[in-house]
Homo-oligomer: A and B are copies of this chain.
Amino acid sequence: MPLTAPTLDLTADPIELTAALVDIPSVSGDEAALAGALEQALRTQAPHLEVVRCGDAVLARTHLGRERRVLLAGHIDTVPVAGNLPSRRDGDLLHGCGTSDMKAGDAVIAHLAATLTRPRYDLTVVLYDCEEVEAARNGLGRIERELPEWLRADLAILGEPTGGAVEAGCQGTLRAEIRTRGRRAHSARSWLGDNAVHGAGAVLARLTAYTPREVDIDGCGYREGLQAVRITGGVAGNVVPDECVVTVNFRFAPDRDADAAVAHVREVFDGFDLAITDLSPGALPGLSTSAAQEFLAATGTTARAKYGWTDVARFAGLGIPALNYGPGDPNLAHTREEHVDTSVISRCASVLTRFLT
């Protein structure tokens, strides 16, 4: 624990705490100061919790012998600062890098961990690093490898920005490269060649003709999508290209597992040379468990589908139902204009308090 860690008051209003967290910059890979401040605050202000540090993640939990355990998780890193620090309050809005994604969620989680000394579920809090960068560096993945017993729970709630809505599960994501090949030739004698870029027209035609599926799972409507996210081909301005690569991204509802998603994409592009380059299965909403039902009751609302992939899928992979629920606005994530509506911070804090006590 660095001696220089700023002091955080976890008992303060979560809105104030959000501003304090935002004012300790924590771009991915540079979370040490914020992790140190959170660790110090939890150790000194929440003596009812067991606290551990794992890299630049901070974990804390109760040992009350409750029948069930709820895990609250949030990443503490942000995308690069874009001239939007320190935080700035303007009426109901709090502006600054990380306000929505997702220090408002972190503030609610840390505040509840410190102040709810007798929750009705045993409580685990995971505040982790490196979510905004490549999966191999993800702090939650490191915890899964190094401290797997810390992730055991009956329900996981991620404080990712959902605008205060409950977003259940998440869709999976698959990327594939579809490669057409031809024969190089000088473009002045193009009949000697075979144009691989022209050949990619058939790939694009299948994408254009594709009708994405919509499916209802546990009352949540998922919408799939199959999109070209990149196309590249060409050798020189006077050469018939002998190769073209179309990169497609398939976002699939969580009723398909990874193998089913691969099989579907291979079927759509039957006859083409296709290589899977990236594959993350989704997460079923898991709303049928009692803990999830109790959480929904506390919110007084129903869940909707989460379209984007989030770390809830890691929990689903461990057999733990997981939801996204946080005060940030997903549409503002990663923007220079990032801000959060402070009234949603207060609402999320009181909903979670109602659920947990």
Interface residues of A (CB under 8 A from B): 171, 173, 175, 186-191, 193, 195, 197-198, 200-201, 204-205, 207-208, 212, 223, 225, 227-241, 244, 246-247, 249, 251, 278, 307-309
Interface SS majority for chain A: mixed
A249 touches B228 (CB 8 A): no
Q: Are B249 and A197 in contact (CB under 8 A)?
A: no
Q: Tell me, in angstroms, the Cα distance from A200 to B229 when the chains sit together.
A: 13
A228 to B190, CA, bound (A): 10
Contact of A232 among B212, B234, B308 (CB under 8 A): B234
Known contacts A188-B307, A204-B197; decide if A240 and B229 are in contact (CB<8 Å).
yes
Q: Is the CB of B249 within 8 A of A237?
A: yes
With A227-B195, A230-B233, A231-B234 known as contacts, the answer to whether A308 contacts B201 (CB < 8 A) is: no
| 7 interchain residue pairs of minimum CB distance | A230-B234, A201-B204, A190-B225, A188-B308, A197-B228, A188-B307, A187-B249
| 7 pairs, CB–CB < 8 Å, chain A vs chain B | A187-B229, A188-B225, A190-B251, A195-B228, A197-B230, A229-B235, A231-B231
Q: Which residues of B contact A307 (CB under 8 A)?
A: 188-189
CB-defined contacts of A204 to chain B, threshold 8 Å: 197-198, 200-201, 204
Give chain B nearest CB distance to A213 CB in angstroms.
Answer: 12
Which residues of B are found within 8 Å of A308, using beta-carbon distances? 186, 188-189
A234 touching B205 by the CB < 8 A rule?
no
Q: Are A230 and B241 in contact (CB under 8 A)?
A: yes
B residues less than 8 Å from A238 (CB atoms): 173, 229, 249
Given the contacts A229-B237, A234-B230, A241-B228, A188 and B201 also touching, CB distance less than 8 Å: no
- Considering only CB atoms, which chain B residue lies closest to A171 in the complex? B188
- List chain B residues, Cβ under 8 A from A244: 231
A175 to B237, CA, bound (A): 8
Nearest chain B CB to A302's CB is how many angstroms away?
Answer: 20
Q: Which of A198, A212, A240, A241 has the most CB of B within 10 A?
A: A198
Interface centre among A188, A200, A207, A235 (most CB of B within 10 A): A188
Return chain B residues, CB-CB under 8 Å to A235: 229
Q: What's the minimum C-beta distance from A349 to chain B, rounded to whole angstroms?
A: 27
- A232 and B229 form a contact (CB under 8 A): no
- Asked if B223 and A229 sit within 8 Å, CB to CB, the answer is no
Which of A190, A231, A308 is most buried by chain B, counting CB atoms within 10 A of its CB?
A231
CA distance A200 to B203 in the complex (A): 11
Contact B225 A229 (CB under 8 A): no
A226 → B minimal CB distance (Å): 8
Tell me, rounded to whole Å, the shortest Cβ–Cβ distance linking A336 to chain B.
16
Q: How far is the CB of A332 from chain B (nearest CB, A)?
A: 13
| Bound CA span A68–B230, Å | 59
A235 to B64, CA, bound (A): 49
